Amino acid sequence: MVLGKFIIKNMKKNKIAIIGLGYVGLPLARLFATKYSVVGFDINTDRISELISGIDSTLEVDNETLQSVLISEDSDSNGLFCTNQLEKINDCNYYIITVPTPVDKNNRPILTPLLKASETVGAVLKKGDIVIYESTVYPGATEEDCVPILEKVSGLKFNEDFYAGYSPERINPGDKEHTVEKILKVTSGSTPEMGLKVDSLYKSVITAGTHLAPTIKVAEASKVIENSQRDINIAFVNELAKIFNLLDINTHDVLEAAGTKWNFLPFKPGLVGGHCIGVDPYYLAQKAQEHGYHPEIILAGRRLNDGMGDYVASEVVKCMIKKDININGSNTLILGITFKENCPDVRNTKAVDVINSLKSYGTNITIYDPWANEEEVMHEYALESLKSLPNEKFDAIVLTVSHNKFKELDFLSLKNKNAIIYDVKNFLSEKVVDGSL
Ligand SMILES: NC(=O)c1ccc[n+]([C@@H]2O[C@H](COP(=O)([O-])OP(=O)(O)OC[C@H]3O[C@@H](n4cnc5c(N)ncnc54)[C@H](O)[C@@H]3O)[C@@H](O)[C@H]2O)c1
């Protein structure tokens, strides 16, 4: 009899709730929906409405692919049902949390969305359920910050009644090649048995395979150091760019030459924006500081990268002065305001640092970005961004983001006599530019 019950319980179909349907949550929900019954839950009603109508404004999932998995009613059949109603995630047995983990103005981690999402899941948690976190955090956040909330709200006991897992996301927004199923995924669970369970869940959809980490803290730490490593490496080449500019040596020529050695890492100088590489190192730094260690390299890298906007602006101004352009009252065209190329994401974009710094020198700014949502830019930064080029000429053109569309621009028609072009990304032909990082 007991055995019969056990078999029936284990035969119950997995039903997955994804909490937070943004850049990370939606592609994951779409992928799981090809094999499981998935309920996508988000507190943003506008986001739910657009998804229900088959549109993803983040452009991570194309409309046809999204529509192919959408189901209009909550059911146990495979597919994705999107909702903002808590009761619709009641009968799930896996809860995967993919909410934002930003920092405040003092660069301290903001765990509020993660803790709120844990409250949400705590309210529907049942015996046997597994809660998997995907948001990028510092080691310890899942078990020390989130699990106590799950326990408190649900009244259930961790690792007896319910379990946890952590599987960091590695997607790269705008990258149509490395999509979620094609990136090997690190998995972990709160007990060895749960580790295997979480791992096999992901293995069933991630074609690139999985790596089962021994503990949740290991998996959490692995993600935060991936992004910290990139940040530090970019800071190093940014520092090189500053040195080589002083020495009048082309940084990219140096990197190309050094890159011919098999173990030289191919990083390029640039602005480090977005909500991952420029943010995650602060999570690790915070945890280190809580334990009495003041990270030196991690924070030096952050400081250097955060100062690049001002540096670029000062270099642009120097180029303009060399060509006798009167800075005060001049007109500057900024090409790109998103945080990276070929992607509409404007969160924590460092192009804004370049713009604000240039404005402080007295130049008038026009921003052209065919990818950015004008309202979002206005809302986030109180800046006007144009989706089509104005019929004007400029004294300076600064390429801050290497959107493919910028390759097609007729720069001559945009330039006033003597105007300069500064290329932050080393994206344009050397023949047309006056300066680059
Ligand atoms: N975007 C990336 O490139 C990327 C890559 C790897 C990891 N990550 C990490 O993944 C996490 C999510 O990032 P994202 O870019 O998808 O964020 P996002 O802002 O695009 O999406 C988060 C979604 O969560 C929703 N949300 C917020 N609080 C909620 C709550 N309490 N309940 C339900 N929904 C809620 C928001 O409305 C939003 O739709 C972050 O920790 C981020 O660092 C992001």
pLDDT tens for 111-145 read: 999 999 999 999 999 999 999 999 999 999 999 99
Check if the beta carbon of residue 212 is closer than 8 Å to that of residue 188.
yes
Pair 310, 353: CB distance under 8 Å: yes
Nearest to 122 by CA among 97, 143, 152, 144: 152
For 365, other C-beta atoms within 10 Å of its C-beta total 18
**Ligand 1: which residues within 6 Å by Cβ?**
19-25, 41-44, 47, 98-101, 113, 116-117, 120, 134-136, 169, 171, 173, 275-276
Q: Which atom of ligand 1 is nearest to the CA of 114?
A: 31
Q: Is the pLDDT of residue 11 over 80?
A: no
Task: Report how far residue 382's alpha carbon sits from residue 409's, in angstroms, rounded to the nearest whole number.
Answer: 26
Give distance in angstroms: CA of 38 to centre of ligand 1.
17
Statement: residue 40 has pLDDT above 70:
yes
What is the number of the ligand 1 atom nearest to the C-alpha of 117?
31
List CB contacts of 247: < 8 A, sequence separation 6 or more. none
Mean pLDDT of 84-92: 96
Distance 113 CA to ligand 1 centre (A): 9
Q: Which of 405, 394, 403, 400 lies closest to 424 in space, CA to CA?
A: 400
Does residue 372 have a pLDDT over 90? Answer: yes
Structure confidence at residue 328 (pLDDT): 97
Q: What distances in angstroms separate CA 262 from CA 85, 205, 269, 343, one per listed residue?
A: 53, 34, 20, 31
Q: Is pLDDT of 9 > 60?
A: no
> How high is the pLDDT of residue 12?
61
Residue 161 pLDDT > 80 = yes
Amino acid, single-letter form, for residue 149: I
174: pLDDT strictly greater than 90: no
> Per-residue pLDDT tens for 70-83?
999 888 899 999 99
How long a stretch of residues is the chain?
437
pLDDT tens string 205-260: 999 999 999 999 999 999 999 999 999 999 999 999 999 999 999 999 999 999 99
> pLDDT per residue over 278-325, tens digit each?
999 999 999 999 999 999 999 999 999 999 999 999 999 999 999 999
Q: What average pLDDT does the chain have?
A: 95
Cα 135 to middle of ligand 1, angstroms: 7
CA atoms within 13 A on the CB side of 401: 31
In three-state secondary structure terms, 395 is: strand
Hey, which of 31, 42, 61, 86 would you mutate to test ligand 1's pocket, going by the most ligand atoms within 8 Å of its Cβ?
Answer: 42
Q: Does the pLDDT at position 359 exceed 60?
A: yes
Look up residue 162 and give its DSSP letter. Answer: B
Predicted TM-score (pTM) of this structure: 0.92
Cα separation, 330 vs 173, whole angstroms? 35
List the catalytic residues.
276
